Amino acid sequence: MASRRAAEKLIVDGLVRINGHIVRVLGTKVDPDRDEVIVDGKIVRAFKKVYIALNKPPGCVCSHKDEHDRPTIYDLLPKEWQIVHSVGRLDFNSEGLIFLTNDGQFALRLTHPRYGVRKKYLATVEGEVNRAMLAQFVSGIWHAGEKLKAEKAVIVSGGRSRTVVELELSEGKNREVRRLFESQAVTVKRLQRIQIGKIKLGELKLGKWRTLTAAEIKTLLS
């Protein structure tokens, strides 16, 4: 119904009732399964927590709305699940595994650098890539005043015209994989995220989604 700050004002202004009683104490505990919460005369119910894995296609954005009216990942979901938000982002031209949820703690656990959740990518780049370049990625490079670093980087296949590289990252800074290659004047032709934590993209088709299992959610939170 409101942001945290706006919710605090609603409480202080006496517009929140719990089990019929006005509550003005911030931080009051509520059991959503047992307590009745009314805000400004309207009953509030907790959303059921939703956890979705989506294979994002290239050519769409991870925002609910786009100022250029480009397609969004939310166009691929049922209308009743528009309450979710992406856990991190993939840029417009990138594709692959992305999670969506309405559970803020789950999203924080997977995106905050202190948890170090690793993500794997397949980058198809122009030209030949040598192991010395990948060793630089692993030791870390500076780009636009920011240190970029891959935990692992290996050549999957390659030749003179094209190379496929698998990279594993733990921080997921903005466009980090693309910027690593840009720093070496190498052009990325295709970028696909294939794994987050222990959850792999697998056989999920481009543009399709599925819900995460309870076991998968537990694995990601561990």
Contact by Cβ (8 Å): 137, 130: no
Q: Where are the domains of the chain?
A: 4-44, 51-113+202-221, 118-196
What architecture is domain 118-196? 2-Layer Sandwich (3.30)
91 is catalytic: yes
* Continuous H helices in 57-183: 104-111, 131-139, 176-182
Q: Comparing C-alpha atoms, which of 118, 99, 121 is closest to residue 216?
A: 99
Q: Comparing C-alpha atoms, which of 52, 159, 38 is closest to residue 99?
A: 52
pLDDT digit string (tens) for the chain, length 222 residues: 778 899 999 999 999 999 999 999 999 999 888 999 999 999 998 778 999 999 999 999 999 988 899 999 999 999 888 889 999 999 999 999 999 999 999 999 999 888 989 999 999 999 999 999 999 999 999 998 899 999 999 999 988 899 999 999 998 789 999 999 999 999 999 999 999 999 999 999 999 999 999 999 999 998
- What CATH number belongs to 4-44? 3.10.290.10
pTM: 0.82
Active-site position among 13, 69, 91, 103? 91
- What CATH number belongs to 51-113+202-221? 3.30.70.580
> What letters, b where the CB count within 10 A reaches 16 and e where it falls short, cover 127-142?
eebeeebbebbeeebe
- Residue 158 identity (one-letter amino acid): G
Q: Are the folds of 4-44 and 51-113+202-221 the same? A: no
